[in-house]
Structure 1
């Protein structure tokens, strides 16, 4: 039993809940006070280094989410059980947890190799992936700011493949995709907040991804959004020290490169 049962289908919830969660969670970061003592970059750095206005970032994210919602609707329609056979039976909680873990691994694997190739292929980087790196200083709102083709290949297809391979139901997909969205936004928030649960349980976190957005780490730390396993196995992991800046806040300093 879930709170939306009887009001909206699992398929519709799986389509639109991740979008709503994205703007709520990213908006929370936007509404926070400056919190300079927890920032990985100063506000001055953000203004000087980022090469795209926030209005363009918002438009780019909305475009990607439109594509994601369209693909999600088609995916759920194709995989939905016929009405005559009844609603899909929800697996037990342990089975759902295994499905979510499988989906996390599949998504990480897909995104690592596609992301890495977009850096290694000069044409793809110059004309497609460089759009995301215009946000040299990452921001929560810009977590899904990508070229439309990258958004389709990296995030939308990655999510679809994770859903199909894991065998999860639409109801489980609501949980998985909302969690993935929250994690992705958090990785781009630019804040090292005390007690952040993602920093405690995931090595692939805000500072880890911040390294990738900097010049020294551009060819490292490709893994996203959950684990760092492929970076470690394939030699693209860049360790770092998190140090306090003299003017306040933190800085993730690469230990090589």
Structure 2
């Protein structure tokens, strides 16, 4: 039994919960005090280098989430499987765990190759993917700030393929998509906070993705949002070292692999 049972269907939760979680989690980062001693970039760098105001970032994210919600609703309608009792058969927890791992690997694979191609194809980079890189200094609210076409191809379609291949139910999808959203926001938050569980468990983390947003790392660290497997296999992995800035905070510096 899940806490929303009797209030919302699994399909409705799978459609809208990731959106709510995005704004709650990103909003938490936005409302935190400056925390200059944990920032990967100074506030001055963020103001000077970023090429888009936060108002447009919010509009862009909301547009992408609207498309995601429509696609998710259609996907759940087409794939919902009910038993003779009218209830969805939910697999055991071990099976759900395996399904989530499969979905993570599928999403990583899809996003790596689409993301890399958008960098290699000059037309797609100039007219589509460069919108995301207007945020030279990433921040949590802008985690899903993309061109609408990129949002559809990279995130929405990638999520749909992960859902279909893993065979998870809509109820399991609620957990998976909310987790994927939290991880994506965290990768863009620009803060290296002590005790952050994502920095401990995942090599693909805030500093790892920050390297990709830097000029010298733009052709590296394409992997997102979970594991750096494809970067390591295909020679696009750029490790980093964290160096304390004199004025406070950290700096993620690229290293030779």
Match of 2:219 in 1: 219
Following superposition, the deviation at residue 83 of structure 1 comes to 7.5
In the alignment, the residues of structure 2 paired with residue 230 and residue 105 of structure 1 have an alpha-carbon distance, to the nearest angstrom, of: 10
Q: Hey, what does 2:106 align to over in structure 1?
A: 106
Please name the residue that 2:256 is paired with.
256
Cα distance in structure 1, aligned partners of 2:239 and 2:84: 54
Please, what is the CA RMSD of the aligned residues? 1.0
Runs of 5+ unmatched residues, structure 2: none
Query: Per the alignment, in what secondary structure is the counterpart of residue 243 of structure 2?
Result: strand
How big is the shift at 1:113?
0.1
Q: Which residue of 2 aligns with 1:57?
A: 57
Which residue is equivalent to 2:146? Answer: 146
1:199, distance to aligned residue in structure 2 (A): 0.1
Q: Which runs of structure 2 are paired with 1:1-257 in the superposition (5 Å)?
A: 1-81=1-81, 86-256=86-256
Partner Cα distance (1:256, 1:96) in 2: 38
Distance in 2 between residues matched to 1:181 and 1:147, nearest whole Å: 18
| C-alpha distance in structure 2 between counterparts of 1:66 and 1:92, whole Å | 32
CA deviations 1:24-78 (Å, max 9, x no partner) are 0000000000000000000000000000000000000000000000000000000
Query: Are 2:40 and 2:251, in contact at CA under 8 Å, matched by a contact in 1?
Result: yes
**Cα drift, residue 255 of structure 1:** 1.1
Q: CA deviation at 1:120?
A: 0.2
- 1:88: Cα distance to partner? 1.5
Q: TM-score, with normalisation over the residues of structure 2?
A: 0.99
- Aligned length, in residue pairs: 257
What is the rounded CA distance, in whole Å, between the counterparts of 2:25 and 2:255 in structure 1?
Answer: 32
**How far apart in 1 are the matches of 2:82 and 2:241?**
54
Report deviation, 1:98.
0.1
Deviation at 1:256, TM superposition (A): 3.3
Q: Do the aligned residues in 1 keep the contact of 2:82 with 2:88 (CA within 8 Å)?
A: no
Deviation at 1:84, TM superposition (A): 5.3
